[in-house]
Amino acid sequence: MSAVVTRFAPSPTGLLHAGNYRTAVFAYLFAKHYDGSFILRIEDTDRERSKPEYEANILEALAWLTLAADKQYRQSEHRARHRALLEKLIADGAAYVSKEIPKNPGDKEEVIRFKNPKGAVTFADVIRGEITMGVSDLGDFIIARSLDEPIFHFAVVVDDADEHVTHVIRGEDHISNTPRQILIQRALGFVEPIYGHLPLILCNDRTKLSKRKGAKALTEYRDLGILPEAMLNYLAFLGWNPGDEREYLSQDELVKDFDLLRVHKGSAIFDETKLFSVNQHWMRTLSDAEFIMRGQLVAQDEEALRKAIPLLKERAHTFGEAREMLSGELGCLFMEPTITRSKLVEKEPAAAQQAGMTKSALEGLLEPIKALSEGVTAKAVKEVVMPLADAEETKGKGGRGGVLWPLRYALSGQERSPDPFTLIAILGPKESISRIQKAIAILE
């Protein structure tokens, strides 16, 4: 296939959600698979509802996804062309000015209607096969509110033809629009593009994904800390797969493998949990330095931050979560915690509530931890500490919890934190001993 041209034609009348951008992803991947061109056309002919901030958000989201347009247009710039072709249709007898009785305030008294030849329209859909739809019931449909106000059906036909669009890739909710547009194409003598109508994207409750249902703008996911490669990967798999077991594909791999023939006919479910899982995969592929840079992670102790990256890769699904962890449950890595006497003993079994037993357990850890070297691994710490905890279990005192809980709390000052072996490995033996000694002093 040669000279493939696709387009993404959003209206800047609101913030677009993931379902809208899935169309852009498919159009881009298809064009690039065939070394073709991808066009962005801002359809801003709705003068009242089109806003510059929405257009800016569209450009921002596409740039974030790295879907670079080969050409970019604004539909409002084509008004002279639209007017000339409306006049041509009227002159040819294919359309006419219709006197109307306004039904609502603000309605036009004259509109331009297309003279419907009636019958049926058949077109080929790459995804759904041949489709035949009757057009007689459409009547003579409106194509413009005036010579300077074409509606969607007319403007999109003219723009697609002028921009040499070969493949119109869009949602299946546009199938009903296609017969009208084909009739207009034929009247203007335009070549009919190839259509591919994508399955809808649904919420988990199987209703259509929409802004009214709480769907987020794509830039909101960016701000949550989703990586663009993760979002691109996830959107590409909404209604398509590469035909094998692979789940994680880079942009280059998606371009190489994408084809409309593998697009599903059934609807796809937008699942945030799955998106976050895909994002975690891509976060884990980053080097520690990239992880810090792309996550915009900062901490007072850079060395402790570097040591904490494996923990963040294990636990965080977004960079937003990673930043929350650094200021929350991992905050103890960067500043000394505040601990209380009651918390040191509250997790012990009833038989071991005496502060003296906790104090003794912590004191028993001092020398073994002092013997550890700086740079010790969590595994090595566990090999030293666990036998002491097991010994308490054997003695029938506080059990392992009588050692491990006060140790973890003394190090972190929190009920939720990494295990004490990991904490000691990141903090180092010297800082760990200092914190344990302060806990012992509280219990005296």
Q: Give dist(CA 261, CA 129) in Å, integer.
A: 10
Q: Are both 407 and 261 inside the same structural domain?
A: no
Query: pLDDT confidence of 365, banded at 50, 70, 90?
Result: very high
Q: Which two tokens stand for residue 324?
A: 């929350």
Give the CA angle between residues 167, 171, 177 to the nearest 5°: 80
Among 144-148, 266-270, 348-352, the range scoring the smallest mean pLDDT is: 348-352
What total number of domains does the chain contain?
3
Q: Which two tokens stand for residue 269?
A: 């479910």
Q: Characterize the bridge pairing of strands 142-146 and 110-114.
A: antiparallel
Residue 423 counted as domain residue: yes
Range of the domain at 211: 1-69+199-285
Q: Are both 399 and 325 inside the same structural domain?
A: no
Query: pLDDT confidence of 402, banded at 50, 70, 90?
Result: confident
The reply, when asked if residue 211 is annotated as ligand binding, is: yes
Q: Give dist(CA 186, CA 337) in Å, integer.
A: 75
Residue 148 counted as domain residue: no
Contact 341, 350 (CB under 8 A): no
- End-to-end alpha-carbon separation of the chain, Å? 81
Q: Are both 263 and 315 inside the same structural domain?
A: no
Q: Are both 213 and 274 inside the same structural domain?
A: yes
pTM for this predicted structure: 0.90
84-127 tens-digit pLDDT:
999 999 999 999 999 998 888 877 889 999 999 999 999 999 99
**Virtual torsion, Cα 413, 416, 417, 421, nearest 10 deg:** 90
Does the structure show a pLDDT above 60 at 132? yes
Residue 91 counted as domain residue: no
Residue 310 counted as domain residue: yes
Q: Give dist(CA 355, CA 345) in Å, integer.
A: 6
Q: Are both 308 and 346 inside the same structural domain?
A: no
Query: pLDDT confidence of 280, banded at 50, 70, 90?
Result: very high
At 145, phi and psi to the nearest 5? Answer: -85, -20
